[in-house]
Amino acid sequence: MSYTQRETPVLAELCTFLVEDVYGELAARVYSVLARHGRQTLAAVARASYLNGRQIKYGLVILLQQHLVFHSGNDSQPTYYEIDWLNSYALVRLGKVTKLVEDRFGRKAANVMTNLLRLGHTRIADLKEAYFPTETDSDDDSDDGTVNGAGMKRKRGGGNEPNGSAKTNGVVNGDDVKPVVSGDHAHSGTMNGGPVEQSEQEHAEEDDGEIASVDELYEIIERLIQRGWVRTMTESQYLSPGDMHDMLQQETIDQDLGGQQPTGTKDKAVCHKNTLERKRNMRDKWLNVPRFSRRGKPDQDYSNPTKRVKINGANGYSSAGAASPEDKLVIRVNPEKIAVAMRTEQLVQLVEQRLGHVTAHIYQTMLRMLEANTARCYEEYPEPPTAGDEGGDNQIDPKNLVTARDVAKKISRDLDICEGLDPNAIVQITRKGHVRSANILSQPTDPSTLSMDEKTRIIDKHIQLLSEDPTHFVTWHSRAGFSQWHIEFEEIAKQLIQTEIENTISARKGTLGVKLIRALRKKGKLDERATCNAMMMSANDLRGIVNDLTVQGLVQTQEVPKVERREAKHSLHLIWYDRQRAREKLLHDTYKGMVRILQRIQFEREKVQPLLSKAERSDVVGNEEKWLSKGELDALRKWKEVQEKLSLQLFREDDLVATLRDFHGPLVSV
């Protein structure tokens, strides 16, 4: 069977679905060619598809604009195209991103973010134009956005764009690119995040999502860049990991090794180390905050002194219409930051399940304070371990520490921080009254009347709960600021993965399956008898479960012959659990589950298609009651229900994917 005829790998299928869903058929056709054939030149794509060159180019432009496809650098001929799987998958998160940004920076920022997501990478000037169209340009700007404008340079773009030739923005096939300026929230009610915290938002004032002035827009963009949610776009971000590796390795060889291919192990190690360093540097450079010409008060709290350029307070405000130097800057959403925010949300959810909502809220506050300084969930290019260099780098960056006092200052006054604690602890702190025999306070304490010191100490109690949990959500660092803590994300991420695997098994096989997995994880490879001993059960009760989990790929088996003739009777039959394998299997299954959900949505839509096209007619929209029969309205409502249910499930599966894939690099061994 030829390669093209093989069953499509699940992720490719999923991403093709997503691309088709969001960017239409043309883009999806080109995308699926790349997905099936891998890295291709333009000519090869043309050969493998029934599209003509023009169509393929249009399709590619859409994909490039949205960063769904890498391409090799411009200097090497011919140019190769390759799918960016992570970014393609991220399409499913569009709604979630808006929600995450809204929780943190308010609705206006969420609005900007939505537009950035829709447009792909964007020049700031174009974004400004979208919000505040100048009279002469506006028609041109919005109409160009559809397919016909693809590949054409903007008039105002100048020759100075940092990115390559065919990648002008504003191409979204069939979709209305005109940014939603107000009101419209891309996220539906299906997000499962916590309650929106007004207190968490940066803007205390009334926040209705309407951006009033250009300056405000710039301010929002700048804040998003500073916090690492948005990064500047550079050519190098289009290089696939392989191309980037080749380029940087070559650079290392040229500069550090005098152009000689490394031969000895020492040279190779140096080459490897320096290449990684170059990768890190390049990636960190993407996050550099560009110099913004207009500045209000300097905002040093969130700038990252080592990584980012500090911004000096410059001149005041210029008039709204005039062009600013940063207009030419091309910006895009930073996908790594999205994962960080999702990690925060999931950790908070987990804590809420284990320790209650008050503790969870305090944890959320801690995590969000750290978020500004956390660029990514894990280091993709870690420094290779050098022999004899243990314990030297125990130093924790003070930016990754948070104190109980900081939390006490930030925490909302409406939160009843006494909830979820032992009454004795409260009495110990407030020194008012005592605890009666039924564990009731003799003198009730209103948490809003507590002094800052008492508040800090109560919050410290909550944080202690967090640190005592077997997951060790926080780790004690020092006594500064009453108590100072850091969060060992590495370990917690592993624990999160484990929790999800256990959840899955628990749903399928009940507590017994979970117990088996835990026993195997603790003890390593076990034969039947040892398994029984660890679980204190008889073998008969266990065999069925072991068998089922093995078939599902969550438990591994091994047969070790004891005699030369490998008789089954004389062999050791071991079972064990490999977290990495279980994780990959579950991830793969989840992708497949997501594909099935998308297929079901498609199927459900097909069933009501005639009705939908009727309901979308311009004379019917808004007058549904008048033109549609009762049966049709019911069917429409049912379809919406079904769609919502399926989408919600899709987003929840995405949460699982984030846990399994984005929070931690590959796990080594058990």
Partner 1 sequence: MAAPMAPSMVPKEEEPSAVDLANNEAGTPADALYDKCAQRSQGTVFFQRDLSNMQVAETMAELTMLLQELCDRHLMKLMTFEGEPCWKLRSRAEADKLRRLTPDERLLYHHIDQVQAEGIWSKALRARTNVTQQVLTKCLKSLESKDLVQSVMSVKFPNRKMYLLKHLRPSEDIAGGPWQSEGDFDTALIETISGIVAQHIENETCIKVPGNWNDYERPDRTADMAQKKAQVQGIRDIEDAPAVKPYHQPRDPNSSKIVHKNNPQYPTSASVAEWLNSKEILRGKTVREDDMEQLLEMMVLDGRLEKISGTNYRTVLTAIDTKVYNGFVDAPCGNCPVFDLCGDEGEISARTCVYFGQWLETQSEEV
**CA-wise closest residue to 582 among 550, 534, 544, 547:** 550
Give how far Cα 317 sits from Cα of 130, 293, 331, 437, 608, Å. Answer: 21, 9, 22, 65, 54
**Shortest gap between Cβ of 552 and partner 1 (angstroms)?**
9
Size of the site for partner 1 (CB under 8 A): 81
Pairing state of beta strands 122-123 and 526-527? unpaired
Our CB check for partner 1 shows the closer of 225 and 421 to be 421
**Shortest gap between Cβ of 197 and partner 1 (angstroms)?**
11
Our CB check for partner 1 shows the closer of 129 and 654 to be 654
The number of beta carbons lying within 10 Å of the beta carbon of residue 354 is 16
Pairing state of beta strands 526-527 and 571-576? antiparallel
**Residue with structure tokens 């060992």?**
488
Task: Report if residue 535 touches partner 1, rule: CB under 8 A.
Answer: yes
Our CB check for partner 1 shows the closer of 212 and 438 to be 438
Task: Report if residue 562 touches partner 1, rule: CB under 8 A.
Answer: no
Our CB check for partner 1 shows the closer of 375 and 650 to be 650
Task: Report if residue 612 touches partner 1, rule: CB under 8 A.
Answer: no
**Alpha carbon distance 393, 397 (integer Å):** 10
Q: Are 348 and 667 in contact (CB under 8 A)?
A: no
Task: Report if residue 265 touches partner 1, rule: CB under 8 A.
Answer: no
- Segment interacting with partner 1 (CB under 8 A) among 46-54, 316-324, 379-387, 529-537: 529-537
**Which residues on adjacent β-strands are paired with residue 475?**
486
**Alpha carbon distance 553, 59 (integer Å):** 39
**Shortest gap between Cβ of 616 and partner 1 (angstroms)?**
21
**Alpha carbon distance 398, 358 (integer Å):** 26
- Please pick, from the candidates 515, 583, 661, 664, the single residue that binds partner 1 as defined by CB under 8 A: 515
Pairing state of beta strands 556-561 and 330-333? unpaired
- Please pick, from the candidates 503, 547, 558, 613, the single residue that binds partner 1 as defined by CB under 8 A: 503
- Segment interacting with partner 1 (CB under 8 A) among 55-63, 328-336, 442-450, 557-565: 442-450
Task: Report if residue 585 touches partner 1, rule: CB under 8 A.
Answer: no
**Shortest gap between Cβ of 603 and partner 1 (angstroms)?**
5
**Which residues on adjacent β-strands are paired with residue 390?**
none
**Shortest gap between Cβ of 534 and partner 1 (angstroms)?**
7
Helix 489-523 with 579-607: angle, nearest 10 deg: 110
**Which residues are CB-contacts of 317 (< 8 A; sequence separation ≥ 6)?**
215, 294
Task: Report if residue 581 touches partner 1, rule: CB under 8 A.
Answer: no
Our CB check for partner 1 shows the closer of 311 and 532 to be 532
Task: Report if residue 514 touches partner 1, rule: CB under 8 A.
Answer: yes
Task: Report if residue 597 touches partner 1, rule: CB under 8 A.
Answer: yes
Our CB check for partner 1 shows the closer of 140 and 528 to be 528
Task: Report if residue 438 touches partner 1, rule: CB under 8 A.
Answer: yes
- Please pick, from the candidates 422, 567, 624, 634, the single residue that binds partner 1 as defined by CB under 8 A: 422
**Shortest gap between Cβ of 10 and partner 1 (angstroms)?**
10
**Alpha carbon distance 442, 445 (integer Å):** 9
Task: Report if residue 354 touches partner 1, rule: CB under 8 A.
Answer: yes
- Please pick, from the candidates 432, 566, 596, 637, the single residue that binds partner 1 as defined by CB under 8 A: 596
- Please pick, from the candidates 290, 604, 636, 665, the single residue that binds partner 1 as defined by CB under 8 A: 604
- Segment interacting with partner 1 (CB under 8 A) among 124-132, 321-329, 401-409, 587-595: 587-595
- Please pick, from the candidates 254, 468, 567, 634, the single residue that binds partner 1 as defined by CB under 8 A: 468
Our CB check for partner 1 shows the closer of 147 and 611 to be 611
DSSP codes joined into one string, 183-237: S--SS-TT-------TTTSS--S---S----HHHHHHHHHHHHHTTSEEE--GGG
**CA-wise closest residue to 173 among 63, 94, 90:** 63
Site residues (CB under 8 A) for partner 1, limited to 178-197: 195
**Shortest gap between Cβ of 49 and partner 1 (angstroms)?**
19
Task: Report if residue 589 touches partner 1, rule: CB under 8 A.
Answer: yes
**What phi, psi does 476 have (nearest 5°)?**
-70, 140
Our CB check for partner 1 shows the closer of 195 and 259 to be 195
Element (H, E) at 69: strand 69-71
The residue type of 514 is: V
- Please pick, from the candidates 260, 424, 557, 623, the single residue that binds partner 1 as defined by CB under 8 A: 424
| CA-based torsion, 459, 465, 467, 472: positive or negative | negative
Task: Report if residue 470 touches partner 1, rule: CB under 8 A.
Answer: yes
Site residues (CB under 8 A) for partner 1, limited to 95-154: none
Q: Are 117 and 94 in contact (CB under 8 A)?
A: yes
Task: Report if residue 550 touches partner 1, rule: CB under 8 A.
Answer: no
- Please pick, from the candidates 294, 410, 592, 614, the single residue that binds partner 1 as defined by CB under 8 A: 592
Task: Report if residue 479 touches partner 1, rule: CB under 8 A.
Answer: no
Give how far Cα 110 sits from Cα of 184, 201, 230, 348, 424, Å. Answer: 10, 11, 12, 21, 43
Q: Are 187 and 644 in contact (CB under 8 A)?
A: no
The residue type of 504 is: T
> What burial letters (b/e) apply to 483-504, b meaning 16+ CB within 10 Å?
bbbbbbbeebbbbbbbbbbbeb
**Shortest gap between Cβ of 410 and partner 1 (angstroms)?**
17
- Please pick, from the candidates 73, 290, 420, 665, the single residue that binds partner 1 as defined by CB under 8 A: 420
- Please pick, from the candidates 160, 538, 618, 629, the single residue that binds partner 1 as defined by CB under 8 A: 538
Give the x/- contact pattern for partner 1 in 379-418, rule: CB under 8 A: ----------------------------------xx-x-x
Site residues (CB under 8 A) for partner 1, limited to 627-656: 638, 642, 645-646, 649-656
Give the x/- contact pattern for partner 1 in 11-50, rule: CB under 8 A: --x-------------------------------------
Pairing state of beta strands 556-561 and 571-576? antiparallel
- Segment interacting with partner 1 (CB under 8 A) among 271-279, 322-330, 334-342, 518-526: 518-526
Q: Alpha helices of 394-488 — where are they, by DSSP H?
A: 404-410, 423-430, 452-468
Q: Are 474 and 434 in contact (CB under 8 A)?
A: no
